[in-house]
């Protein structure tokens, strides 16, 4: 497989990764890049399909901006490696670019293609076209840094931005080069030195997000900071995590399965305390690598969080966690072992959940008719013995509330069989409600469960 006057696309089937390297050569698959791939694919994967030449829009963007200016002849074409299982089950693709030793380019890989622990993932659908046929894959975007234009910070932003642009028509697609160009620098930009946290935030702003930054030392409470990490993932919002001691950036994109069986605390416990690790896009490893238990980094390594929020998500989660919830828990909740879930969702998605899951007809209709803002914060309390089947209490807050709005930010609440709204209450006949799942799916977000690889 090489550039020639041949105008035909070449397709080759390949059973093993080592033979893949023989086919493409070390300029396209270095030993370093190969070492990332070895032993990471699950047993579901039965063969790879090589496609050449492939025009990878992200590599081409950097090629025309930088690599084409180098003395060394760098191939502008990429290989695309499709991953298949039995019966043509499609698990996505990754590209190989002529940038050794960091050859692994844009990849959309389904977690089932890899040996990944069970958990919840943020995934979105991508289409791949092979010889006139369309294959679809649910994935979170990933690539390896090229160390010249892209470093881990740019890759993290790119992965999140590509996830959003694929899901939401309001977000434009940005190539890795365009993301690189959005950062300002007082010194030369190539070779890239990475980005400051301010750079990362400002790039998100340029792309139309309303980012917020949290530092662990400013939050000043590691338990709350850990809850913050969980809250955004449960809300369906992937974010850039800074590991400042390691000078590293990754994107957090999901969490491991919740392990409540071992919990022996006897008070209100945030669900984040039951999560041993998070999935990440870390350009040093294949996608869905774990931060936390059995991972390459610990949750404690995360000490900065840059969250690309939607503009109408005004109310700061720290106000809720630090000031509002302690008061509510003291005055409203029974003295009972409870788990706390805090997350944001759209009122559209929440009403769909209400429509499908509430059995008290009067209460259900009342909520469906209630005027709600575009986004709401939801706080669910689940008694330990009922976890994960039944929610004891649920509080709704206006995510668009004015700052210092006081308790006016609370829309309504249900505490056991008591429904509360505007200082009034009603006793419900049937208040069995499941936990709210599939957060923000209707708005295009979604937490999809995948089993072990």
Partner 1 sequence: MEWMKQVLDNGRKLEMKKDKRIKAKLDSIDMKLKENLQENIEEERLREQKTLELSRQYFIG
Binding site for partner 1 (CB under 8 A): 145, 151-156, 192-198, 200-201, 213-215, 217-218, 242-244, 247-249, 304, 323-324, 327-328, 331-332, 361-366, 368-369, 404, 406-408, 410, 418-426
Q: 45 vs 39, 41, 303, 417, 423, CA distance in Å?
A: 12, 7, 36, 50, 58
* For partner 1, the closer CB: 340 or 364: 364
CA angle 294–295–296, rounded 5-degree value: 135
Residues near 213 by Cβ (< 8 Å), separated by ≥ 6?
A: 197, 201, 304, 305, 306, 307
* For partner 1, the closer CB: 14 or 418: 418
* Under 8 Å between Cβ of 328 and 414: no
* For partner 1, the closer CB: 124 or 150: 150
DSSP 386: G
- The residue among 168, 169, 163 whose CA lies nearest residue 121 is 163
* For partner 1, the closer CB: 125 or 193: 193
In angstroms, give the least distance from the CB of 399 to partner 1.
16
The single residue listed with the structure tokens 């470093």 is: 151
In angstroms, give the least distance from the CB of 358 to partner 1.
11
In angstroms, give the least distance from the CB of 99 to partner 1.
16
In angstroms, give the least distance from the CB of 145 to partner 1.
8
* For partner 1, the closer CB: 31 or 327: 327
The single residue listed with the structure tokens 């090629």 is: 63
* For partner 1, the closer CB: 316 or 442: 316
The single residue listed with the structure tokens 């579901």 is: 44
Cα dihedral sign for 104, 110, 115, 118?
A: positive
In angstroms, give the least distance from the CB of 354 to partner 1.
11
In angstroms, give the least distance from the CB of 366 to partner 1.
4
Q: 346 vs 13, 73, 171, CA distance in Å?
A: 45, 50, 17
- The residue among 88, 131, 89 whose CA lies nearest residue 110 is 89
CA angle 9–11–14, rounded 5-degree value: 160
Q: How many CB atoms lie within 10 A of CB 26?
A: 15
Q: 288 vs 98, 272, 274, 426, CA distance in Å?
A: 24, 18, 19, 46
* For partner 1, the closer CB: 118 or 326: 326
In angstroms, give the least distance from the CB of 423 to partner 1.
4
Please give the Cα distance from 167 to 443 (Å, whole number).
Answer: 9
Q: What does the block give as tokens for 277?
A: 């690790």
In angstroms, give the least distance from the CB of 66 to partner 1.
17
* For partner 1, the closer CB: 69 or 193: 193
């Amino acid at each position: 497989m090489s550039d020639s006057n041949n105008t035909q696309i070449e397709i080759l089937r390949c059973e093993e990764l080592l033979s893949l390297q023989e086919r493409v050569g070390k300029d396209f698959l270095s030993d370093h890049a190969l070492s990332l791939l070895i032993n990471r694919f699950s047993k579901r994967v039965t063969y790879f399909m090589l496609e050449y030449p492939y025009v990878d829009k992200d590599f081409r963007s950097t090629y025309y901006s930088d690599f084409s200016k180098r003395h060394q002849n760098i191939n502008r074409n990429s290989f695309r490696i499709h991953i298949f299982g039995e019966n043509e089950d499609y698990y996505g693709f990754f590209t190989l670019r002529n940038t050794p030793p960091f050859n692994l380019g844009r990849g959309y890989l389904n977690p089932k293609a890899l040996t990944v622990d069970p958990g919840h993932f943020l995934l979105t659908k991508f289409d791949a076209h092979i010889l006139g046929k369309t294959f679809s894959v649910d994935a979170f975007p990933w690539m390896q840094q090229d160390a010249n234009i892209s470093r881990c910070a740019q890759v993290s932003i790119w992965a999140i931005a590509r996830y959003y642009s694929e899901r939401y028509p309001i977000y434009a697609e940005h190539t890795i080069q365009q993301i690189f160009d959005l950062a300002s620098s007082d010194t030369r930009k190539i070779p890239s030195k990475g980005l400051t946290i301010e750079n990362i935030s400002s790039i998100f702003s340029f792309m139309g997000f309303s980012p917020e930054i949290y530092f662990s030392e400013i939050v000043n409470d590691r338990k709350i900071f850990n809850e913050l990490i969980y809250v955004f993932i449960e809300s369906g919002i992937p974010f850039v995590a800074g590991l400042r001691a390691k000078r590293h950036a990754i994107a957090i994109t999901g969490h491991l399965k919740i392990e409540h069986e071992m919990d022996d605390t006897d008070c209100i416990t945030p669900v984040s305390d039951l999560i041993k690790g998070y999935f990440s896009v870390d350009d040093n490893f294949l996608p869905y690598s774990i931060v936390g238990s059995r991972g390459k980094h610990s949750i404690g390594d995360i000490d900065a969080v840059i969250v690309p929020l939607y503009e109408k998500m005004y109310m700061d989660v720290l106000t809720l966690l630090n000031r509002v919830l302690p008061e509510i828990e003291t005055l409203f909740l029974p003295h009972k072992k409870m788990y706390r879930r805090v997350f944001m969702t759209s009122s559209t998605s929440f009403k769909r959940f209400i429509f499908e899951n509430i059995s008290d007809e009067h209460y259900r209709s009342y909520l469906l008719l209630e005027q709600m803002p575009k986004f709401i914060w939801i706080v669910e309390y689940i008694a330990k013995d009922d976890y994960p089947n039944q929610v004891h209490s649920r509080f709704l807050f206006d995510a668009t509330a004015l700052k210092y709005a006081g308790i006016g930010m609370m829309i309504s609440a249900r505490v056991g069989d008591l429904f509360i709204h505007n200082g009034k209450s009603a006793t419900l006949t049937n208040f069995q409600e499941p936990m709210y799942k599939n957060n923000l799916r209707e708005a295009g977000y979604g937490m999809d469960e995948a089993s072990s690889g």
